Structure 1
Amino acid sequence: MRPQSILLVDDEPGIVTMLETILRKEGYTSIHSAFTGREALDKISLTPYDLIVLDVMLPDTDGFQLCQQIRQHTAVPILFLTARSSDLDKLTGLGIGGDDYITKPFNPLEVAARIHVQFRRQLQYQPAIQEAEQYRYGTVVIDKKAAQLRVNGNEVPCPAKEFELLLFLAAHPNQVFTAGQLYEQIWGFDSLGDEKTVAIHIMRLRKKIEQDAKQPSLIVNLRGIGYKLVPPPKQGAAQ
């Protein structure tokens, strides 16, 4: 089994060196770096990384735009690491495909912990998708074995955290979960979680699976309580 491969994208060599030192102490041996967006894209097109840590303010591009370009190549977790700390920036980062958002200044041990969680969730998730199981909700098919989302017979790109969240909800139809419970299940944190991260991922999923994302009928929000996935009338989740 090849070691988990991490790409650090940041134009500050000191931050890259610090993170690389901490991650190597934590047991990660395949750590790569890129200091510009162009360099990052070149490396991603050639190398199958398992996780990407991405700065937003790069010398040649905006990290948000770069994230969208990366998503054309891979669905692996992307952790934003940036000095841009406003709520709008965080919502933007999560809304365009990021899986987590950490602001500078940061504790490098926290970054390592969040990377640990991402990989741990992947290891927990991989055995499940080896089973030949599908969940069907009307025209929506969630294929666990292929880790694939299909809507109306067409495959719909779905980054790792979105798919994991959808799969969890599909496995528990009509069961209500608070945003905090979903964050803990999918991201692996309790005290570090927040409702905005869950809400953004739910919004992105609705755009992919709902006939009308503004009036959702599959992923339903019970105001003040939480979310649940509701099977269409006379249909349920098939395994």
Structure 2
Amino acid sequence: MTRTLLVVDDDQKTRNLLKTYLEKHQYEVRVAHDGASFNAEFERFKDELSLVILDVMLPDTDGFTLCRSVRSQSPVPIIMLTASADDTDRIVGLELGADDYIAKPYNPRELLARIKAIHRRMQLGAPGAPVRFLKFAGFSMDVVERVLTDPQGQPVVLTSMDFNLLRFFAEHAGETLDRARLMEQTRGRDLGPLDRSLDVQVSRLRQRLHDDGKQPVLIKTVRGSGYVFSADVSAHAEP
């Protein structure tokens, strides 16, 4: 998979800092400052791009228009950036074909985590993709046989829901995942106001991973937000 990103942001300082940060993590980064320059760069490099990052507010157009244009030409993943706290922007972006959304101001590490998560999902979901194993902290997940082995190579007993939850965590490593999203993605239903079943499941999963409940290293609680899977996850074709 190529690791070429195209970023459009009208703030030069933000644009340059983000370019420098992502290049330190071995990405090739193309930048644009408005809709016109973005369209020119996209047309030039669209066959090389692995992901596009769109700022919603631009001087000559908006990110929604660019998102619609990109999606009409290419399936390349899109992350949208916005300074608005209004959920409407997020919903519109996703309906137009964006793959993810992050609000400004954001931590570059959070954006990097989302980029990595999208790339992992692309590898796992690609037709004929050889990726079968997700590895982290000595553990290995076989996503085909649905088996987890510990650092000693011994199988870890997990329920089907536990496996689904751990896989979702691993595929979104580094992202702060709120409880409602975790419930929807792993159980297919909304989280009730008094529903603590997800927290119980997370606690059980920590036990299976020998992740200290008082000071967990793998599945960390983000107070007031949800959980984050903090391990470095890699995807492999072989065990």
Q: TM-score range by the shorter chain?
A: 0.5 to 0.7
Instruction: Tell me the number of residue pairs that the alignment of Structure 1 and Structure 2 aligns.
Output: 161
Output aligned runs, 1:207-226, within 5 Å: none
> Structure 1 residues 92 and 27 mapped into 2: Cα distance closer, same or farther (>3 Å)?
same
Q: Say what the alpha-carbon RMSD is for the aligned residues.
A: 3.6
Contact 1:54 1:79 in 2 (8 A): yes
Structure 1: segments with no counterpart, 5+ residues: 132-167, 169-175, 203-220, 226-239
Is residue 43 of structure 2 the alignment partner of residue 45 of structure 1? yes
Task: Give the secondary structure class of the aligned counterpart of 1:45.
Answer: helix
User: By how many angstroms is 1:7 displaced?
Assistant: 0.2
Structure 2: segments with no counterpart, 5+ residues: 130-142, 144-159, 193-239
Contact 1:10 1:35 in 2 (8 A): yes
* 1:64-98 superposed Cα distances (whole Å, 9 cap, x missing partner): 12110111111111001121221111111111111
Distance in 1 (CA, whole Å) between partners of 2:71 and 2:183 is 19
Q: Which residue of 2 aligns with 1:84?
A: 84
Q: Which residue of 2 aligns with 1:14?
A: 13
Say which of 22, 26, 33 aligns to 2:31. Answer: 33
Contact 1:80 1:100 in 2 (8 A): yes
Amino acid at match of 2:30: H
Distance in 2 (CA, whole Å) between partners of 1:60 and 1:189 is 35
Is residue 68 of structure 2 the alignment partner of residue 68 of structure 1? yes
Amino acid at match of 1:10: D
Task: Give the secondary structure class of the aligned counterpart of 2:72.
Answer: coil
User: By how many angstroms is 1:8 displaced?
Assistant: 0.5
Give the TM-score normalised by structure 1: 0.56
User: By how many angstroms is 1:21 displaced?
Assistant: 1.2
> Structure 1 residues 186 and 67 mapped into 2: Cα distance closer, same or farther (>3 Å)?
farther
User: By how many angstroms is 1:104 displaced?
Assistant: 0.7
* 1:126-171 superposed Cα distances (whole Å, 9 cap, x missing partner): 3xx127xxxxxxxxxxxxxxxxxxxxxxxxxxxxxxxxxxxx9xxx
Task: Give the secondary structure class of the aligned counterpart of 2:73.
Answer: coil
Q: Which residue of 2 aligns with 1:54?
A: 54
Quick one: percent identity of the two aligned structures? 35
Output aligned runs, 1:88-127, within 5 Å: 88-126=88-126
Output aligned runs, 1:61-210, within 5 Å: 61-126=61-126, 129-130=127-128, 181=165, 184=168, 188-189=172-173, 192-194=176-178
User: By how many angstroms is 1:183 displaced?
Assistant: 9.6
Contact 1:54 1:81 in 2 (8 A): yes
> Structure 1 residues 191 and 45 mapped into 2: Cα distance closer, same or farther (>3 Å)?
closer
